[in-house]
Every structure is written in structure tokens, then in C-alpha cells.
Chains A and B, each alone.
Chain A
Amino acid sequence: MREKIEEKLRAAFGESVVSVSEFKGQVSVEVKRDVIAEVCRFLKEDPEFEFSFLSDICGADMLNFEDASSRKAYLAVEHDYRPEEVPVAERFLVVYHLTSIKNKERVRLKVKVDGDNPVCPTLTSVYPAANWYERETFDMFGIVFEGHPDMRRMYMPEEYDYYPLRKDFPQMGVPGSIPLPRK
């Protein structure tokens, strides 16, 4: 499974396939941000794979993931907590889970997105289901999906200023950020 995907994707996309790895029997493919829609379309339409079912899209904030000493700090709950420096290069990860109902296989795709200008191409033209998944990711991380037909927040109020699942957003929330309705 892993070899087959690696071989086919490298043949079709060359340098844009950054890495292929396997962990606990699950295959992850990291690709360059700009080709994600084409890679998904390829995996969906190739008769050998037929990944026609998009299980999930989610974001992840990798802020200081490698740096063990600062990791504890992000569990701070105080609302005035701010990290000293926020590295911006390749801060976010967008993770896609594709399923092939026919072949009973799954594959995970990963894309790195910068922190200062978090944009990523949309998948809505390949999988209609990407619509709400991408809206949720935008709501939680502020990653803008270019070309998305309806880039609104999914859960939080429209006028909310923060992106709650970013690591620099405090656990206890920001007091006063959600005003009570006027009487």
C-alpha cells in the first residue's frame, strides 16, 4: 500500500511530494501546499485507488512542537498569557483523511501552512464535503481556504476576534470576548 502510493504519487507529482511515512500501520503523505487539490483529484480518480470518500479535514497548530522546554507553557490558563515569540514559518498543519470504500483503504495527507499568511487551496471542487470541514478549520485556526464558496465561521460567532484552537489562545478563554446579548 505504502510503496504503491509513494511510487504513483512521485511519478505524477515529483518534487511536490515531500515525504511518505508509516506509523502504526497508517500511511501519511506530506505534499506541498499548492498541489493538494490536484493530488486529491488524482487519488480520487485513479482506478487503482479510488479514494472517493473524504473522511475528515482538520488543522493542527504546531507552535513549538519540537521544543520540549516551552511546551508546558502552553497549558497555562491565564488569559493574559502571550507567548514570547511566535515562529511563523510552517506553523500550521492541515490534515486530510481519504477513504477508499472499494479497496477498504485509508490514507492521510498533510500540508504545511505558514503562520503569517495562513492560506491553503480549497478541496470543495473535488469533494463537496470539504465545504464544512474547511469552514471548521478556518473557525478554529484562521486558515483561509482560497476559492471556498462560503468562508464563514462554523461554530463561533461571526464577529469573534480569536481562533480558539491556536496554541496561543488561553485555555480559559479571553474574558469579554463574547459579549452578552443586549437586553
Chain B
Amino acid sequence: MANSSRDKDNVAQIVRALEDKDTNVALEDPLENYMVLNMGPQHPATHGVLRLLVKLDGETVVECIPELGYLHRGYEKIAEASTYMEFIPHTDRLDYISPIANNVAYALAVEKIAGVEAPPRAQYIRVIGAELARISSHLMAIGAMAMDVGAMTVFLWAFREREKLYDIFDLLTGVRFTTSYTRIGGVAQDLTDETAQAIKKFIDEFPHHHAEIMKMLNKNRIFLDRVVGVGAIDAETAIGLSFSGANLRGCGIEHDIRIFSPYLVYDQLSFDVITEKEGDCFARYMVRMREMLESVKIVRQALEKIPQGPIKADLPKKVLPQKERVYNKMEELIHDFVIVNDGVHPDVGDVYVTTEGSKGELGFYIMSDGSGHPWRLKIRSPSFCNLQALPYLVKGQMISDVVAIIGSIDPIMGEADK
């Protein structure tokens, strides 16, 4: 009954239009309309609280708009009221998959503006920590991406390896997850022989498990069909969108900040910059896989070359004293009190220091007014910038490819939302 009345309306409309030459006829056809799909923020395949508004034509993505801010904690505002030391634990919560890499990046930025340099042993320990964090982060990225396209086993294998890494972090820093390991001018604890043995055991065994994952995925027809040629981006667009890290190297650009502007002791270690030409999800996956082996190479060299010596710079006005001396010596107690309460006083000015974080170019821009607090601290988070390319990557792809593309970009929302 309803149908026939609508037909009657349509007919009446057409007749009216025919009588008047200037009117256009627009009839609603439900099959020709776009559908808007809301993915997230509570969606298991969006890696945290990422929300996507996806406009679909059938199953093809016409447009995609990411919405951020569900995990915004205002870290840049918090930084303005805390001393340089106090902010270190907050850096753990940025990219919570590789906290040591963030600690290192922040410590380097503060050291640059305060004019402190960590002793060689501390620098080697930092390199080892940051590279282990990179392996941990890449394992997470690959495991989660494989699970999103249906390979559950790889996810479990990757997490088995990450569990070993967490045990190592526990030995090295005293905690498994939120490490807060670096100090301005050094690191919190020394690398013991026991820890060095545990790391050595891990890097000896890891290539074998790495090969297992490669074998599982690289000839897996289902996996290849889901990622090869999906979400491709060319080099020029990628640079224009400030893609960085493994994602940019997946487009064939040899840009690695460890080579670009060497920090710590990377210039004394030999490793290759991994690139792949295609720029699709499979290329990004391959860059991450191969980079893990380079990290193993770096850690092995660092363990061999690591010198003996102090783990904190000898600058009492700027670097926290060792805890055991604080309890026994008057001067150390005074310095500890002053540094904790008043903070490091860097020169008035601003610096921008970047490191090659696990996700890409991780930078800290610090503007100092000479007091113990940063006047302005800007976090250049790689996940934020990489996510910006998502609408370009998913355009024209199928809705089921969106999860594979998100997995291949490897965003961490703690970092993207700050």
C-alpha cells in the first residue's frame, strides 16, 4: 500500500516536471547513496582509542576522517608546571610500547639545552635500551597487524618474545612496563652482568624466532593477499605528509635519524638502513621485520664495545647524585634537595632534538626561560603525523583493508593524543 502511494507521488512529480521545462527531477534511490560508518573509538582493530568516520560506496572507502583526542591528557600543559626531572615518568606514557626510547629522547633534549653530556657507558646502555624497545615495538606492530588480517598465531609468537624483553627491562630498570629509566646526564641504574647475560641470550635466540615468523607469513597466501599492493603511497606524497620512521623507509626513502644526525654512539656502530620500494602494507611490514635484525646487530656490537665507567655525568648542580651517597654525604643531600625541588636551570633559549623512535621521528622542542620548568615543551609524536596520512592510504580501498592499513602504520594513541 505504501509502495503504491509512493509510486503515485513519483508519477505526480514527473508529470509536474514535464509540464514545467525548468524543473529537474530528483528521485531518491537508496542504492546510490553513500553510507557513513563509525569505526571506534572502542574498536578492537583500531589500536587504542582511534575513531574513524568512513564514508562508503558499497564496500569501497570514498573518504575517511580520523578523530583524535580520546586519550588527550594535556602532557604539554603538565610539563610547564613540572621540573625537567618530574616530566620523565610522563614520557613513558606517550609511546607505551617502547617507553625506554621515549625516556632517551627526552633526556637527550634536556641535556642539549642544559649543556650536559652523559658518560660513554650510559650512552651505550641507552642505545641497548632503545634498540630493545624498538624490537619490542616492531613485534607488537607485526603481531597486531597479522592478527587484524587473521593470523592469530603470529600475535602469540610475538607476545612470547615481548615477554622475554619485559623480563630484560625488569632486570635493567627495575620495572617491566613504565621504565622511567633515564636521568638527566645518565641512567638510573647500571647494567649488571646478569642483565648483560640475559640480553645476550635473547639476541642469540631471537633470530631463530624471527625466522619462524618470516616463514609463517612471507609465503602465506592469505596474508599476502591482504597486504601486498594495499594502501600504497608514493615517496613524494609521503614526504609531503611528513611520514616518518619505518613507514617512510617503506616508500624507498633512506631517511633514518640515527644516520641523518647521529646521536648517542650510533656513529660508532655499524648497521644498515632498511628500505623497501613499494610503499604498501607489505613493504612496511618487511621494513619492520628486517629492522629488528639490524637492532639485534646494534645491541650485539654495543654489548661488546660497552666501556666501564660512571653512568652519570659529574655535574653536581645539574645531575642527580647516586642515591646511596645522598643518605651519607651532606653535599649530595643538598644537591639532591635543590635539584628535586628547584630543578635544572638551563640557558634561556630553545632547542629541538629528535631521535629515531620506534614509530618514527620522535622530537622534543624545549623552550626555556632559565627557570627549573620548561616554558614550553612540544612533543613531536610520530604516530600523530603518520596518522595524518591515513585518509590518503585508505581512499579507494575496501573496508576490510582499513584494518590492515591501520595495523601497517602502527599508531599508538598514547603518543598521538599526548
Contacts and interface: CB of A to CB of B under 8 A. Distances in A.
Given A97-B365, A129-B385, A164-B77, A56 B69 contact: no
Given A129-B385, A155-B417, A140 B69 contact: no
Interface residues of B, number: 43
B373 A156 contact: no
Interface in B162-195: none
A58 B74 contact: no
7 tightest A-B CB contacts, nearest first: A155-B69, A129-B242, A58-B378, A155-B72, A23-B349, A60-B376, A56-B380
Interface of A: 23-24, 26, 28, 52-56, 58, 60-61, 65, 71, 75, 77, 95, 97, 101, 104, 106, 108, 127-129, 131-132, 136, 140, 153-157, 164-165, 169, 171
Contacts of B237: 128
Given A58-B365, A65-B369, A97-B363, 15 more contacts: A24-B113, A26-B352, A53-B255, A55-B352, A56-B380, A60-B375, A75-B80, A95-B350, A95-B365, A106-B352, A108-B350, A128-B241, A129-B388, A154-B68, A154-B69
Given A101-B255, A171-B77, A171-B81, A55 B242 contact: yes
Contacts of B81: 75, 77, 171
A165 B76 CA distance: 8
Interface string B71-84: 01010111011000
Contacts of B72: 155-156
Interface string B360-387: 0101010101010101101010001100
**Most chain A beta-carbon contacts within 10 A, residue among B255, B350, B361:** B350
Nearest to A52: B239
Contacts of B351: 23-24, 26
Nearest to A58: B378
22 contacts: A24-B112, A26-B351, A28-B350, A52-B239, A55-B354, A56-B363, A58-B376, A60-B375, A75-B373, A95-B378, A101-B239, A106-B352, A127-B240, A129-B241, A129-B242, A132-B385, A140-B76, A155-B418, A156-B69, A156-B72, A157-B69, A171-B80
Interface in B371-418: 371, 373, 375-376, 378, 380, 384-385, 388, 417-418
Contacts of B367: 60
Q: Which of B77, B365, B378 has the most CB of A within 10 A?
A: B378
A129 B375 contact: no
Contacts of B68: 154-155
A77 B81 CA distance: 9
Interface of B is mostly: mixed
B327 interface: no
B350 A23 contact: yes
Contacts of B388: 129, 131-132
A61 B239 CA distance: 29
A104 B267 CA distance: 15
Contacts of A128: 237, 240-241
Interface string B323-349: 000000000000000000000000101
Contacts of A127: 240, 242
Contacts of A55: 242, 352, 354, 361, 363, 380
B375 A65 contact: yes
Contact of B239 (A24, A53, A56, A108): A53
A169 B74 CA distance: 12
A127 B253 CA distance: 18
Nearest to A24: B351
B261 interface: yes
A2 to B, nearest CB: 15
Nearest to A22: B349
